[in-house]
């Protein structure tokens, strides 16, 4: 396979996957972000990398974001939102953090591919990225890519789409966003 073929296959998979995400669930996520005092993110592996990028982008919009485990992480409260990224919804660390956040009455959003996961008992909102799972749902997008690459890519672009929607909804002047960009580089 050459580069152009690989690139086209990946873009087609991502497009098909994001077309399968519920717009209503994204609107609910935006509302939760706007009403939260602070937005926390938790995930593991490559999912965590996508979540860190989303947290950074939302911070550029002036939203107080924190990645669970970072040294400056404050306490979570009932006024806050925890966004959990976990395709399976069964990863031990995100499950434990969701359980703990729920004990503080924080709002929890799970972005994953498995609507029947253990995470559903903690999540106030589930956003399904319909990629291939062991459940073999009829609307799952299969992938030529290794492992869970399609989930992580779709998660990152879902986050960028949410940021763009927030910019438009709040009529944010994008030039003014540079005030939130790192300047010690």
**Active-site residue 152, yes or no?**
yes
Calculate the CA 54 to chain-centre distance: 7
Q: Which residues pair with 127 in a beta bridge?
A: 111
- Residue 121: burial class (beta carbons within 10 Å; 0-12, 13-18, 19+): exposed
One of 13, 140, 152, 168 is an active-site residue; which one?
152
3-state secondary structure the chain: CCHHHHHHHHHHHHHHHHHCCCHHHHHHHHHHHHHCCCEEEECCHHHHHHHHHHHHHHHHCCCCEEECCCCCCCCCCCCCEEEEECCCCCCHHHHHHHHHHHHCCCEEEEEECCCCCHHHHCCCEEEECCECCCCCCCCCECCCCCCCHHHHHHHHHHHHHHHHHHHHHCCCCHHHHHHHCCCCC
User: What residues act catalytically?
Assistant: 152
């Amino acid at each position: 396979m050459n580069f152009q073929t690989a690139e086209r296959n990946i873009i087609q998979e991502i497009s098909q996957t994001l077309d399968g995400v519920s717009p209503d669930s994204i609107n609910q996520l935006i509302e939760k972000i706007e009403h939260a005092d602070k937005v926390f993110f938790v995930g593991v592996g490559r999912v965590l990398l996508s979540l860190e990028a989303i947290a950074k982008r939302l911070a550029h919009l002036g939203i107080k974001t924190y990645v669970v485990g970072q040294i400056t992480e404050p306490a979570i409260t009932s006024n806050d939102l925890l966004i959990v990224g976990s395709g399976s919804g069964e990863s031990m660390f995100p499950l434990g953090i969701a359980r703990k956040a729920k004990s503080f009455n924080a709002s929890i959003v799970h972005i994953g591919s498995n609507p029947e996961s253990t995470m559903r008992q903690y999540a106030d909102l589930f956003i399904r990225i319909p990629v291939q799972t062991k459940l073999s749902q009829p609307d799952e997008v299969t992938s030529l890519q290794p492992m869970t690459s399609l989930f992580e890519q779709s998660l990152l672009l879902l986050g960028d789409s949410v940021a763009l929607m927030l910019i438009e909804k709040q009529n944010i002047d994008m030039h003014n966003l540079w005030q939130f960009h790192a300047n010690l580089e």
